[in-house]
Amino acid sequence: MSQSPAPEQSQQPVNLRQADPHLERERSRYDNPLPSREWILHVLEQEGVPVLARRLMGLLDIGEDEQRLFERRLTAMERDGQLMRNRRGALCIVDKLGLVTGRVQAHADGFGFLVPDEGGADLFLGPWEMSKVLHGDRVVARAQGVDRRGRPEGVIVEVLTRAQDRVVGRLLTEHGICFVVPEDRRIHHDLLIPPDALGSAQPGQVVVAQIVQQPDRHVKPVARILEILGNYADPGMEIEIALRKHALPHEFSDAAQASAAALPVRVEPEQWKGRVDLRALPLVTIDGETARDFDDAVHCRAEGKGFRLWVAIADVSHYVSDGDALDTDARERGNSVYFPRRVIPMLPEALSNGLCSLNPEVDRLCMVCEMAIDERGDIEDYGFYPAVMHSHARLTYTTVAAALAGETSVVDAQLLPHLRALEHLFQVLLQARVRRGAIDFETPEMRMDFDGQGKISRIVPVERNDAHRLIEECMLAANVCASDILQRHEHPALYRVHEGPSPEKLADLREFLREFGLQLGGGDEPQAKDYAELLERVRGRPDRQLLQTALLRSLRQAVYAPENIGHFGLAYEAYTHFTSPIRRYPDLLVHRAIKAVLAGRRYEPGNWKDLAAHCSQTERRADEATRDVESWLKCYYMRERVGESFSASISGVAAFGIFVALDEVYVEGMVHVSELGDDYFQLDPSRHQLLGERSGRRFRLADRVRVTLVRADLESTRLDFVLESAKS
């Protein structure tokens, strides 16, 4: 932590308070400025020993009328891990005590880690330390040696802030004592429920409990029933649980609902002022059959040897202004969440499915990226501008693919030439993608079909056709132009960044590929093109899936960041998200930034780094929630198939067993290591395998196996299998 320098000795201050080098900054923020945090830390460091608050107030000339506010500042500094009080109540600088501040990341098996705020190695927290805290709590800890596996170990000194206030789980009773078992397995404690805090809840029901007493070393957390959700197997219960387990905002604020209700139901001519009129341009939307929010519309025509492409995107920023009630709710959500059979939208339905959705045969406000693309697929020129449009058709991927395959009767004949132009452009962009070296992983997608009770009736693969890829390439082109205009004008933005493999992952990958006689090009810094070339070389091999999975797992996750470091997977030097402002908050920010550039202004929504971290976190939160729901539904679906045998492939390996993906029903489960045979099996993560010490029997990623389902546990959403036969 950097400390402010001591004041110049040549200018004798009236008192220490006036010597604060950040005084002007504090005056600009507050009518009655207090000493800055930096100066408080500097004064404490100069004292050299822990200092009581009353002495610090004297040193800094804090008046009686300021003492309450000053105590609040000290409390905030304690909460943020800058200060702590010793047993005498004296203030200590955390950095001087050799302590680490961070967030607790719990593991379902009872232990956890402290993830330091300032980076560096995580501290292992054993079950004894985890008895004091819950997942997500911010704490101060002291490093204390290493555990038996050589990991740095920590001891919790103080809990700064509690992350868990409300917990969703099942109410159970045992020996007359009621308790809630949390759905989130990272919360290790059962919550005790006193008799007078039960309300009308009955054992077995799913409830939301509010913690009234946090855990301590010898005390279980105590809670009261806040909400009764219903019975575990009720239709839609899996979504209600996921919403609360992952703290997903799912009810709009009264202010946001009022703002949405006050919006017009249609676009009026007076709103066209300053916009390009594109209503005569035959723009169309192409989406899936079940889509209800249409962000984008496209149109293409041949122009000489090249093309002119229009990508029109819903102008959400016209209706949602920075800092208003709709924006506040949208920022909190970060994105829409798409569960099977239910969507939690980022914006109220009046906007997401109405005024901002590019529905057919109605006027809509939009932001347009118009591009001139040459015969090689290179973007020669582009422009952004606000417009008014009129979608000429709502098409689906299926109908467009059929029309391009020759079934011309499925679409309006007047649209066919434009669709063929789009197809021609797609082929050109695809060739440019290959030349650029973008990675094209073949990842299968699945669709769940449901019965009248809201449960899965079947799981079927979704075939991606050229219509999907056509729209994808158009959106990629618009996103690249969005990043370019912001870069050229040096305007801050949220980039979609994707780093290449870490040195450790790269070394493991190269070792793994060596066993197959394969080599990844690019030396110490491979490029996407090296990955793409290797994928092409193995495309016809029977072990293609294994090799593709190993390549995919060597890469890092794409995130949002204010610094542009490029997108490795897509092989773009700069890339951002522009095309989905109805369902992604980063896209809305980018729209505002582009509008600011066009107006010669700068858009300042706050700290771009914090916004990037928040949007990346809400994206992960949505992924985890949807994964939970899908796992529960699949587990419920498989309950009636206990005892059946299935062909499968190994989809993952861990020290405790192998994960298997079934061929025909598209679900995953686990074979515990104890079911693999009478042997000790050791995990080799670089080779993605478990190897028997005595037998030499190997279970490796993508190996074929035959398994029998023995257990489908709804509470843990686990499917347990036993092995019938295996070959490697």
Pairing of strands 306-314, 456-462: unpaired
- State how far the Cα of 198 lies from the Cα of 224, in Å rounded to an integer: 6
Asked whether residue 630 is domain-assigned, the answer is: no
- State how far the Cα of 33 lies from the Cα of 176, in Å rounded to an integer: 56
Q: Domain of 196?
A: 166-232
| pLDDT under 50: residue ranges of the chain | 1-13, 726-728
SS3 at position 503: helix
Asked whether residue 370 is domain-assigned, the answer is: yes
pLDDT reported for residue 5: 43
Q: Per DSSP, which regions of 152-221 are E strands?
A: 152-161, 166-174, 177-182, 191-193, 205-213
pLDDT reported for residue 3: 42
pLDDT reported for residue 51: 87
DSSP code string of 325-388: HHHHHHHHH-B-EEETTEEE-SS-HIIIIIITS--BTSEEEEEEEEEEE-TTS-EEEEEEEEEE
Tell me the CATH number at 716.
Answer: 2.40.50.140
Residue partners of 288: CB distance under 8 A and separation at least 6: 396, 397
Q: For the chain, give percent helix, strand, coil, nearest 5.
A: 35, 30, 35
Per the structure block, which two tokens stand in for 139? 């704490």
Asked whether residue 431 is domain-assigned, the answer is: yes
Whether residues 320 and 463 share a domain: the answer is yes
- State how far the Cα of 519 lies from the Cα of 82, in Å rounded to an integer: 49
Compute CA distances 585 → 239, 563, 582, whole Å: 22, 18, 8
Cβ–Cβ < 8 Å for 351, 245: no
Whether residues 142 and 178 share a domain: the answer is no
Whether residues 488 and 511 share a domain: the answer is no
Whether residues 411 and 541 share a domain: the answer is no
Cβ–Cβ < 8 Å for 443, 545: no
Asked whether residue 243 is domain-assigned, the answer is: no
Whether residues 91 and 127 share a domain: the answer is no
pLDDT reported for residue 542: 77
Number of domains forming the structure of the chain: 6
From 48, 68, 95, give the residue that closes a domain: 95
279 exposure class (CB count in 10 Å sphere: 0-12, 13-18, 19+): middle
Kindly state the helix (H) or strand (E) to which residue 688 belongs, with its residue range. none
Tokens 């045969």 label which residue?
361
Angle made by CA atoms 178, 182, 184, in degrees to the nearest 5: 175
Whether residues 269 and 190 share a domain: the answer is no
Asked whether residue 215 is domain-assigned, the answer is: yes
Work out whether the CA dihedral 625, 627, 628, 632 comes out positive or negative: positive
Residue partners of 23: CB distance under 8 A and separation at least 6: 33, 36
Per the structure block, which two tokens stand in for 179? 């308790």
Kindly state the helix (H) or strand (E) to which residue 77 belongs, with its residue range. helix 67-79
Residue partners of 104: CB distance under 8 A and separation at least 6: 112, 113, 114, 115, 125, 130, 133, 134, 135, 136, 137, 138, 139, 163
Per the structure block, which two tokens stand in for 524? 């110490």
- State how far the Cα of 371 lies from the Cα of 391, in Å rounded to an integer: 19
- State how far the Cα of 396 lies from the Cα of 286, in Å rounded to an integer: 5
Half-sphere exposure of 378 (CA within 13 A, CB side): 4
- State how far the Cα of 528 lies from the Cα of 15, in Å rounded to an integer: 60
Per the structure block, which two tokens stand in for 238? 């899996």
In angstroms, how far is CA 202 from the centroid of its own chain? 35
Bridge partners, residue 180, by sequence: 171, 191
- State how far the Cα of 569 lies from the Cα of 443, in Å rounded to an integer: 14
Whether residues 442 and 509 share a domain: the answer is no
Asked whether residue 675 is domain-assigned, the answer is: yes
SS3 at position 583: coil
DSSP-H helix ranges across 489-607? 503-514, 528-538, 544-553, 585-598
Per the structure block, which two tokens stand in for 662? 């079934």
Taking the CA atoms of residue 561, residue 563, residue 566 and residue 568 in that order, the dihedral angle to the nearest 10 degrees is -50
State pLDDT tens for residues 276-316: 999 999 999 999 888 888 999 999 999 999 999 999 999 99
Whether residues 421 and 312 share a domain: the answer is yes
- State how far the Cα of 110 lies from the Cα of 186, in Å rounded to an integer: 8
Cβ–Cβ < 8 Å for 646, 709: yes
SS3 at position 196: helix
Q: How far apart are the first and last CA of the chain?
A: 53
Pairing of strands 559-561, 668-672: unpaired
Angle made by CA atoms 689, 694, 695, in degrees to the nearest 5: 65
Whether residues 311 and 395 share a domain: the answer is yes
Sequence letter at residue 510:
R
Residue partners of 670: CB distance under 8 A and separation at least 6: 657, 658, 659, 660, 718, 719, 720, 721
Per the structure block, which two tokens stand in for 621? 């939160």
Asked whether residue 8 is domain-assigned, the answer is: no
Q: Is the entire prediction scored with pTM above 0.75? A: yes
pLDDT reported for residue 13: 45
Taking the CA atoms of residue 398, residue 399, residue 401 and residue 406 in that order, the dihedral angle to the nearest 10 degrees is 140
Whether residues 319 and 436 share a domain: the answer is yes
Whether residues 137 and 173 share a domain: the answer is no
pLDDT reported for residue 725: 61
State pLDDT tens for residues 662-684: 988 889 999 999 999 889 999 98
In angstroms, how far is CA 207 from the centroid of its own chain? 26
- State how far the Cα of 557 lies from the Cα of 531, in Å rounded to an integer: 16
pLDDT reported for residue 383: 97
From 161, 176, 198, give the residue that closes a domain: 161
The full length of the chain comes to 728
Whether residues 209 and 271 share a domain: the answer is no
Asked whether residue 87 is domain-assigned, the answer is: yes
Residue partners of 515: CB distance under 8 A and separation at least 6: 687
Q: What are phi and psi of 513, to 5 degrees?
A: -65, -30
